[in-house]
Amino acid sequence: MSDAALSAAGVDAKAAGLRFNTRAALTHAVLIVGALIVLLPFYTMVSLSLKAPHEIMQQTGGFLGAQELFRDDFCIKLGNAVADCMVNPIAYNYSTAFEKAPLLRYLLNGVIVTVSIFVIQVIVALPCAYALAKLRFWGREAVFALVLFCLLIPVHAIALPLYIMLAKLGLTNSYAALIIPWTISVFGIFLMRQFFMTVPDDLIDAARMDGMSEYAIIWQVMLPTAIPALMAFGIFSVVAHWNDYFWPRIVITGNRDLFTPPLGLREFKGDADGDNFGPMMATACIIVTPLIVCFLLAQRRFIEGITLSGMK
């Protein structure tokens, strides 16, 4: 090969490399702009939860705020000396978030409701899925067809008749009202049934030979094999119900002891005057953080779980 050809090839390779680089750089540029827009409200939320009221109103202090002590007028109104009422913005925002409303109680309610919903969904769906996948009985196809039909129904859309039924039973403003409509997850049945179809029959036959009852087979043989699918479904279910605002808004009216975190935040907004932006954003941070942290720790599983519905 002549020198000229060699150097020409070199130039070519360089040009290709350059083209590749400008292309990658452009891609990054576009994605970074997108990322900034996506992150903007998270930035605002965290920043405002750290700042003092006057910094929020005058848009000063950058991301962290100056963190100077400021005068808590409410504290003075209560008759305390001015010196005792100087507070640090972060401490003020986050402590107000917990003091002004029973935020801990709301968080606890959120945990109670989401966990109960998931546990009941599994208790109902797993045996049904097992029967649909592995048992032969009259009407099986009809039941499965019904499951497929029910997948069409968004529960939020039938909130009104459900609300009337619960009201007639005197169940509004109770944990039961928050949980009952979600006890049946046809999606869960469908998902677990598809999963159980892939479990070999030999496993079940062997268990029957050992004299296990059908109940024991479900909870001791099928359940352990289904852990990965169940985890994904669990994430799907917990995320949906921790963040759900519509249904709690309808069935919980006024009884603060039953508020879930989104309702608690909404109430905060209802009486927010200028001074309350900081504590309100602190509340928002506290409500959003648990799922975000779990998501960052187990991203793959979360993305799997949330996009599970893609299997329909």
Partner 1 sequence: MPQSRAYIWFVGPALLLMFVILLIPILIAGGLSLTDYSLGNSGASFVGLENYERIFTRSTYEKMFGATFRYVFVVVPLTVGLGLGAALLIHSLGRFGDLYKTIYFLPVMAALIAMAIVWEFAFHPTIGIVNATLERGCGTVLERWGWYAQGCARTFPLWLNDRDYAIWTVSFIGVWQGFGFNMVLYLAGLTSIPPSLYDAAEMDGAKRGWDRFRLVTWPLLGPTTVFVVTISFIRSFQVFDMVEAFYPQGGGPSKSVYVMMFAIYEKGIQQNLMGIGAAITVVFLCFVMILTLIQRWFVERRTHYV
Residues 155-194 that bind partner 1 (CB under 8 A): 155-165, 167, 180-181, 183-184, 186, 189, 194
Check residue 284 for interaction with partner 1 (CB under 8 A): yes
Q: Which of residues 201-240 bind partner 1 (CB under 8 A)?
A: 208, 213-215, 218, 239
**Residue 153 contacts partner 1 per CB under 8 A:** yes
Report in angstroms how near the CB of residue 257 gets to partner 1 at its nearest. 20
Looking at beta carbons only, is 94 or 302 nearer to partner 1? 302
Out of 9, 16, 31, 206, which residue is the one contacting partner 1 (CB under 8 A)? 31
Using rule CB under 8 A, residue 52 touches partner 1: no
Helices (H), 153-312: 159-168, 175-179, 186-197, 201-209, 214-216, 223-225, 227-243, 246-251, 261-270, 277-297, 299-306
Say which residues have a Cβ less than 8 Å from residue 247's Cβ, sequence separation at least 6.
Answer: 155, 156, 159, 178, 181, 182
Backbone angles phi, psi at 103, to 5 degrees: -60, -40
With binding defined as CB under 8 A, does residue 39 bind partner 1?
Answer: yes
**Stretch 244-283 residues interacting with partner 1 (CB under 8 A):** 245-246, 249-250, 261-262, 265-266, 269-270, 277, 280-281
Both tokens of 187, joined, read 């999606």
Choose the binding region for partner 1 from 7-15, 63-71, 81-89, 285-293 (rule: CB under 8 A).
285-293
Query: Any contact of residue 19 with partner 1 (CB under 8 A)?
Result: no
**Closer residue to partner 1 in complex, CB, 82/169:** 169
Of residues 57 through 86, those in contact with partner 1 by CB under 8 A are: 57, 59
| 33 binds partner 1, rule: CB under 8 A | no
Stretch of 6-14, 78-86, 90-98, 153-161 lying at the interface with partner 1 (CB under 8 A): 153-161
Contact 231, 213 (CB under 8 A): no
Contact (Cβ atoms closer than 8 angstroms) between residue 186 and residue 273: no
Select the span of 9-17, 56-64, 77-85, 97-105 touching partner 1 (CB under 8 A): 56-64
Size of the site for partner 1 (CB under 8 A): 93
- Among positions 99-118, residues that touch partner 1 (CB under 8 A) are none
Closer by beta carbon to partner 1, 14 or else 269: 269
Q: Give the whole-angstrom CA distance, residue 181 versus residue 29.
A: 46
The DSSP-derived string for 9-34 is HHHHHHHHHHHHHHHHHHHHHHHHHH
Residues numbered 118-137 forming contacts with partner 1, rule: CB under 8 A: 124-125, 127-128, 130-132, 135, 137
Cα gap 301→295, rounded to integer Å:
8
The first and second tokens of residue 127, run together, are 């045996």
Q: How far is CA 189 from CA 120, 125, 137, 152, 250, in A?
A: 12, 5, 17, 14, 27
User: Measuring CA to CA, how many Å separate 211 from each of 116, 136, 207?
Assistant: 32, 19, 7
**Both tokens of residue 48?**
């405002």
From 1-9, 68-76, 141-149, 221-229, give the range in contact with partner 1 by CB under 8 A. Answer: 141-149
Closest distance to partner 1 from the beta carbon of 111 (Å): 14
Closest to partner 1 by CB, 70 vs 242, is 242
Task: Look at the alpha carbons of 224, 226, 230, 231 in this order and tell me if their dihedral is positive or negative.
Answer: positive
What gap in Å lies between CA 252 and CA 173, rounded to an integer? Answer: 5
